[in-house]
Amino acid sequence: MEKNILAFDLGASSGRAILGTYNGETLTIQEIHRFINEPVTLNGTMYWDVLRLFHEIKNSLIKAKKYGEIDSIGVDTWGVDFGLLDKNGKMLENPVHYRDRRTVGMIDESLQKIDHERFYNITGNQFMEINTAFQLLSLQKNRPEILERTASLLMMPDLFNYFLTGIKSNEYSIASTTQLMDANQRCWSRELLEKLDIPESIFQNIIETGTPIGPLCSEICEELDMKPAQVIAVAGHDTQCAMVATPALEDDFIFLSCGTWSLFGTELESPLINKKSEHYNLTNEGGYSNKASFLKNIIGLWLVQESRRQWIREGKEYDFTTLEGMAQTAKPFYTFIDPDATEFIPSGNIPGRMREFCKRTKQSLPFTEAEIVRCIHESLAFKYRLALEELKECTGKEYKNIYMLGGGVQSKLLCQFTANACNCDVTAGPIEATVYGNMAIQLMATGDIATLKAARKLIASSTPLTIYHPQDIDEWNEAFLRFQNIV
C-alpha cells in the first residue's frame, strides 16, 4: 500500500513542502509548496519570521490534502537556533537568527568560565560564535530577564514540531549543534550549563532521531479538516538528513553537504575527540542510529549568493548559471580568500570584503564578477582539501570518493574543482539529499524501511548521480601551496 509522507525543509532563503510517495520499492518526490524564509531585522536585531513560516506550513498541509491522506510529517532546518517558551508554552519573543551580531566576543567570554580543552572534550564541537551556547551566553549577559522567564528551550525543528503536536522535545541531531551536549553521554552537560550559568531546567530530555513525537494536534486537524498524521522527529539538523541520503554503500566515505554552508566530513560509530581534532577545530554531530558525523563546518555558496545580492543592489541582475559561465572565462588561480574568515559571515558587500582580504594578504585584487566567482569556487575547493587532509590525519583512514550532496551539486564548476583540488572522484547527487533523508527517517520510524543501508540503496536508485574525475592535478597541487599561505 502506498504511503504519503510530507517533508518540510527550511533553507537559508526558502522553505519547501515536499510530498513523497513510497510504494515499497521506489520513493518519488514532488514539491507542492515553496515559500520565502528570510530573516527580519527590527531595532537592530535579526529574527526568524517564525509566525509567517508556520502559516506557510499550514498552507502546505492544505495543499497536501488533494494528494490523499498524509501518513507522517518531518521538519528539518539548520542548527544552532532556538525559540524560548514561558511557563504557559507561549513564545517569549521571535527566535533570533544566528547571523545576528549578538554573539560577537562570546567565545572569549565563555573561555573565562571554562577551559577551551575541557569545553571541547565534553562537546566535541567546532567553536563557532553562532553556536547555541554563545547565543545563550549573550542572553545571560545582556538580557538575563529573558532567561529568568524561560520555562522551555526548543531548537527550531523542535519548535515547529511543538506547534504541530503540542508536545515538547529536544531531538538528538539538532541538540548536538548547540555545543551544550555531552557528545559521549548523549545528554545535556550539567557541568557546562552550570559554568555558563544557563538554567538546566529549560531543556527537555534528548530523544533519538526517528522517534515518533505524536499526532497532529486536534486544533490543527479541526482547522484544516485533516486526519491526525504522525509527526516524526527526523534529524532536525538538515545536514544529518542529508547524511542519511548519502548514496554510499561502503562504510568509510567522505560526504560534502553543499549549500549555503558546506559540511565536509565522514560518518563514525562514535565521536572522535582528541588533541588533533581539537587543534583542527573539527566537530562531532549526532546522526541517525546514534552515529557521529565527524566534520568541518565551512562557509559555502553563501559567498556567491550574497555577492549576487550585492550586484543586484548595484543594478546588475545575474542568475547563477550566468555567473558560473562568467567564472569559467576568468584566469585560473588569480587570487584566493579564506572562506571562513569572520568578515564573510555577516550579510553585506562580499565582493568589497574579498578585495579587502586580498589586499591585506598581499594578493591581486578581484574586481570583475568573473574573478570574484572564480575566486570563491577555487577557494572553497581548496578549503575542502584542507578539511580532507585533517580528517584523514585524525581518522587514520584513506578515502577514495567524495559524495557531494545538496543544491551545490548543481554547480558543475564547483563539483569539478572539488575533484581537482582533492585529487579524488566526486559523486554528485542527490540534489534533494536533505528531503530524501528526511523521508527515509520517517519510513524507518514507521517500519517501512528496515535499515540505514536499505534507505541509502533506495535513495541511490531513486535519483541520478554524476561522477567527476580529477583534472589538471599538477596545476592544482601547485596552486594549493599558495592557498595554504593565506589561510
Active site residues: 238
- 153's CB contacts (< 8 A; 6+ apart) are 82, 83, 84, 85, 136, 170, 202, 203
In the chain, the amino acid numbered 155 is M
DSSP bridge partners of 17: 8, 33
C-alpha cell at 170: 529536544
Q: How far is CA 22 from CA 31, 71, 174, in A?
A: 15, 11, 26
- SS3 percent helix, strand, coil of the chain, rounded to 5, is 45, 20, 35
Nearest-angstrom CA–CA distance, 237 and 255: 15
For residue 102, give the DSSP letter. G
3-state secondary structure of 6: strand
Q: H-type helices in 300-349, by residue range?
A: 302-313, 320-328
- 169's CB contacts (< 8 A; 6+ apart) are 154, 158, 161, 162, 204, 205, 207, 211, 213, 233
Asked if 460 and 436 touch (Cβ cutoff 8 Å), the reply is: no
C-alpha cell at 334: 588569480
Written as one string, the DSSP assignment of 137-151 is HHHHHH-HHHHHH-S
In the chain, the amino acid numbered 32 is I
Measured over the CA atoms of residue 319, residue 324, residue 329 and residue 331, the dihedral's sign is positive
Nearest-angstrom CA–CA distance, 328 and 330: 6
Nearest-angstrom CA–CA distance, 131 and 125: 9
In the chain, the amino acid numbered 285 is E
339-349 CB burial, b ≥16 within 10 A, e <16: bbbeebbeeee
Nearest-angstrom CA–CA distance, 389 and 296: 11
